[in-house]
């Protein structure tokens, strides 16, 4: 997948997110008759645009982002003399203007998922069913077995594997209560995921019952030579069913280099391929392998929902998604999740490109998730972000007077430095994932 392909779809993704976000601020400002001086897609020097009324609608040189410039929206601006300046408006109106951007991202996330639910609402056929428990793992120590079904995790009933995985990765060293169904009977236990050193995420040692789909084939490796392709479904190896991410590697490791007979499914048709494993350095480890990367393809049932039901399910999904985001951030603060899992613009590029290649539904789903993330991040009480502006306004409403300009300017400077540090860290994270180890 080409770099330009990824960059184009990243620009589409970010462009829509920023446009919707800034439109929220813009519409709220216009509602309260605040003069908007600039509506910009991107930062930096003006490339092109047009002026209508008091507003300069423009595209700027750095397309990653955007902003709305209102009269009197900076701490040093004396907009109280200007009836159309932001600072001349009541605090409750300014609060709504600040909140409108993240609010529009939330609305977008709900609308996108609602639309998806009306086109194809997916439910897991094997919801919560465990197909594999790794020896000596947290799941094994909790007494779990293959075939068990997780019917509740940390109070979340009938969880999907997405719910289970998100709870798992954010809960390293934390005891998580779960309810298991086995042979028609239910019992409760707890599981304490460990922190995986390589991924920096919680690891329980269980796997979902799912199909394994090849995502990438390494050039020059046995898999490519045997004719395996991205998109192939791995059905079995030497007669053993492959229904978890661990199973194929286990079979390859035990083969000691003997040829494997793989049963695959390609575009709905069964095929049989023989492949010869090689012993080499794969993912930083010396082991037997064939040179494929693969991921889970859950067995799903697809239906269509009417608008009311689609909206309700979208609300549920977005509320659950927001709670998972907060759990992830809490895990970082409590050092149960590695901060290296924070992804920035560079890291999002291949994700956007891959989602676009998989189809409209995948890209729209990614857009909904990113939109919700953007809303939550912007609502954090960090200076410069919308949440920081809202925090200052709430403080002023509580004390009944404006904070001094030096205090506001210091608040903004601290926020700017903080965001610069975060941006450098995220940039380092993204680049370090691209560069080869060592």
- Positive or negative, the CA dihedral 161, 165, 171, 174 is positive
The token pair that represents 308 in the structure block? 């009311």
Predicted pLDDT of residue 188: 93
Mean pLDDT in consecutive groups of 10 residues from the start of the chain, 438 residues: 81 87 93 91 86 88 79 64 83 94 96 95 87 88 91 90 88 91 92 85 86 83 86 87 78 84 88 87 74 79 92 93 85 77 79 84 91 92 88 91 84 82 78 62
Q: Phi/psi at 93 (nearest 5 deg)?
A: -70, -40
| Cβ atoms of residues 277 and 257 within 8 Å | yes
Predicted pLDDT of residue 75: 62
Structural domains in the chain plus CATH codes: 3-35+71-117+368-434 (no CATH), 126-207 (2.30.42.10), 210-288 (2.30.42.10)
Predicted pLDDT of residue 344: 76
Predicted pLDDT of residue 153: 93
Quick one: CA torsion of 83, 85, 91, 97, rounded to 10 degrees? 130
Predicted pLDDT of residue 78: 53
Predicted pLDDT of residue 327: 83
Q: Phi/psi at 409 (nearest 5 deg)?
A: -65, -40
Predicted pLDDT of residue 348: 84
The token pair that represents 330 in the structure block? 């809490």
């Amino acid at each position: 997948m080409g770099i330009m392909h990824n960059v184009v779809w990243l620009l589409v993704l970010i462009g829509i997110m920023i446009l919707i976000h800034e439109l929220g601020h813009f519409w709220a400002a216009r509602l309260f008759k605040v003069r908007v001086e600039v509506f910009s897609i991107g930062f930096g020097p003006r490339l092109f645009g047009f002026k209508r009324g008091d507003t300069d609608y423009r595209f700027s040189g750095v397309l990653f982002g955007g902003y709305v410039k209102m009269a009197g929206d900076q701490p040093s601006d004396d907009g109280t003399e200007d009836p159309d300046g932001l600072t001349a408006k009541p605090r409750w109106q300014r609060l709504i203007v600040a909140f409108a951007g993240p609010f529009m991202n939330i609305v977008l996330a709900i609308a996108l998922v609602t639309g998806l639910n009306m086109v194809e609402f997916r439910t897991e056929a094997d919801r919560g069913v465990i197909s594999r428990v790794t020896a000596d793992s947290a799941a094994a120590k909790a007494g779990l077995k293959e075939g068990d079904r997780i019917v509740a995790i940390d109070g979340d009933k009938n969880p999907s594997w997405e719910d289970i995985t998100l709870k798992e990765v954010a809960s390293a060293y934390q005891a998580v209560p779960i309810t298991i169904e086995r042979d028609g009977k239910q019992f409760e236990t707890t599981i304490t995921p460990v922190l995986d050193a390589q991924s920096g995420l919680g690891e329980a040692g269980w796997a979902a019952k799912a199909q394994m789909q090849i995502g990438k084939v390494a050039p020059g490796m046995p898999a490519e030579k045997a004719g395996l392709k991205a998109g192939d479904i791995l059905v079995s190896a030497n007669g053993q069913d492959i229904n978890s991410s661990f199973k194929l590697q286990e079979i390859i490791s035990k083969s000691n280099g003997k040829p494997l007979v793989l049963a695959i499914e390609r575009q709905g048709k069964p095929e049989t391929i023989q492949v010869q494993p090689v012993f080499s350095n794969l993912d930083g480890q010396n082991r037997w392998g064939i040179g494929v990367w693969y991921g889970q393809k859950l067995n799903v049932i697809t239906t269509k929902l009417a608008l009311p039901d689609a909206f309700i399910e979208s609300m549920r999904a977005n509320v659950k998604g927001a709670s998972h985001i907060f759990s992830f951030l809490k895990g970082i603060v409590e050092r149960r999740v590695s901060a290296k899992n924070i992804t920035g613009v560079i890291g999002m590029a291949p994700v956007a490109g891959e989602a676009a290649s998989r189809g409209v539904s995948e890209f729209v789903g990614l857009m909904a998730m990113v939109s919700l993330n953007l809303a939550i991040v912007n609502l954090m009480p960090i200076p410069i972000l919308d949440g920081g502006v809202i925090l200052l306004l709430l403080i002023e409403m509580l004390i009944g007077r404006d904070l001094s300009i030096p205090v506001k300017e210091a608040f903004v400077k601290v926020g700017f430095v903080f965001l610069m540090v975060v941006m450098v860290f995220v940039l380092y994270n993204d680049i370090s994932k691209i560069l080869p180890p060592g």
